[in-house]
Amino acid sequence: MFATQPRARRATFAAPLTIFFVLALLAGVAPVALLAQGAANYEAEKRRAIQLLESAKATEALPILERLSNSNPEDGQVMFYFGFALLAHSNTLKEAGARKQSRIRARAAMLKARESGYKNPLLESILESIPADGGEETKYSANAQADAAMHEGEAAFVKGDLDAALAAYQRALTHDPKLYAAALFAGDMYFKKGQPFKAAEWYERAIAIDPDRETAYRYSASPLMEAGKLEEARVRYVEAFVAEPFNRLARAGLIRWAEAAKVELAHPDIKVPTDVSPLKDNKMTINISPDSVGKDDGSAAWMMYGIVRAGWAMEKFAKEFPAEKQYRHTLREEADALRGVVESVKTQTKDKKIKTLDPSLARLVKLHDEGLLEAYILLARADQGIAQDYVEYRKTNRDKLRRYLMEYVTAKK
């Protein structure tokens, strides 16, 4: 959760800018000053709406944001928050058709925000979660009482009644002890109420329910960030990333920490000068850079990368993965190919054929010797095929994924 990005579930009317414009004309205000006054009022209203959202008062924020969106639909930030408020507002509507229409309007506002160039990982996540037709109602639990309590909590939250929302979420958890969202949202309420230690307790309960979801780890980092405990926050963001490395919000959490800690996130700089084309018509093309041939820095080892991968594509994949009828690039193939490179380097070193080892090869050998080769592949080199192997690897190698992120990606260079 971000301090400036309220959770995607969650007024007084000021005079419209057009009215201010007319009043200023009647008062004889100069056009330049008039425009400045209108702009200042617009920004003040925008700040107020965002503050209301951050205070869990989406109902109050919605009319302000709707007015601002009508005034300037090219303001991507306004359109994002307007869509956000519409989503939250949908939880307060009693009629299912009205709730769906509110979700459709929310999606349209989010699309407008994207078209305006507004960048936000939460924006993309929300757009992915709402179909063009508004989708179906959120169902939190198969337990009817737990599900009803969750919806009750959401409606209370949107209205700014944190205590009622908290009670509803806690009640939902009693009906369904495995309901991740109930523990997560309860923690969120304590955080909103200014009780970070209680919030942390409930985030831990959510993590215990499902350690392979990133949200509770990321939410638990927010109080630490606000308290300036950057090292502790780093641990939480790393855990979130280990849980779901291909999730935009988990990535955004690490970026948020890095910006505060003034650390440049980076994987080891390893340039593989060998390209392997996808398998087609039972053929695979290996392209080797001329720079890797005829040198005394170990670069000849890169030839092994293509040779090993070709072997996997032509024969080994079918033997190792008999249940999969179509070839894909796997973690085991990539690791096998890079180990072939490392073994070649070590053979060349033993035979004293290397004067000064190529830096990319030196980094690769180091990762291999530290047992972090697979972690590097999954987090730095994963394509669509390799990504399918992540969950299985994480089951028994969480410590290696964590080490790689702590010792390489998030370490101060």
Is residue 5 helix, strand or coil?
A: strand
180 and 244 in a single domain? The answer is yes
Whole-Å CA distances, 219 to 120, 196, 271: 17, 11, 35
208 and 239 in a single domain? The answer is yes
Residue 266 in any domain: the answer is no
Q: What is the pTM of this model?
A: 0.80
Residue 21 is part of a domain; what is its CATH number? 1.25.40
Range name among 86-100, 339-353, 360-374 with the lowest pLDDT average = 86-100
- 94 vs 111, residue with greater confidence: 111
Residue 241 in any domain: the answer is yes
DSSP 8-state class, residue 405: I
102 and 151 in a single domain? The answer is no
Picking from 235, 261, 287, the residue at the C-terminal end of a domain is: 261
What is the distance between the alpha carbons of residues 61 and 81, in angstroms, rounded to a whole number?
9
What is the distance between the alpha carbons of residues 95 and 143, in angstroms, rounded to a whole number?
22
99 and 148 in a single domain? The answer is no
Residue-by-residue DSSP string for 269-298: -----EEEPPPBTTB--EEE-GGGSS-SSS
> Is pLDDT at 250 greater than 80 in this prediction?
yes
251 and 293 in a single domain? The answer is no
> Is pLDDT at 277 greater than 70 in this prediction?
no
Picking from 261, 282, 302, the residue at the C-terminal end of a domain is: 261
CB 121 within 8 A of CB 256: no
- Residue 191 has a CB neighbour count (10 Å cut-off) of 22
Is residue 194 helix, strand or coil?
A: coil
Average pLDDT, the chain: 87
**343-365, pLDDT tens digit by residue?**
999 999 999 999 999 999 999 99
Q: What is the pLDDT of residue 274?
A: 72
Residue 8 in any domain: the answer is no
Residue 111 in any domain: the answer is yes
315 and 202 in a single domain? The answer is no
Mean pLDDT of 213-217: 97
- 35: tokens are 């425009």
**295-347, pLDDT tens digit by residue?**
788 998 998 998 899 889 888 999 999 999 999 999 999 999 999 999 999 99
Question: What is the domain extent for residue 385?
Answer: 274-409
85 and 55 in a single domain? The answer is yes
Residue 335 in any domain: the answer is yes
What is the distance between the alpha carbons of residues 86 and 102, in angstroms, rounded to a whole number?
6
Residue 269 in any domain: the answer is no
**101-141, pLDDT tens digit by residue?**
999 999 999 999 999 999 888 888 889 889 999 988 889 99
Which spans in 196-282 are helix H? 196-209, 215-226, 230-243, 248-261
Q: What is the pLDDT of residue 314?
A: 85
What is the distance between the alpha carbons of residues 94 and 91, in angstroms, rounded to a whole number?
8
Residue 230 is part of a domain; what is its CATH number? 1.25.40.10
287 and 405 in a single domain? The answer is yes
Picking from 212, 238, 261, the residue at the C-terminal end of a domain is: 261
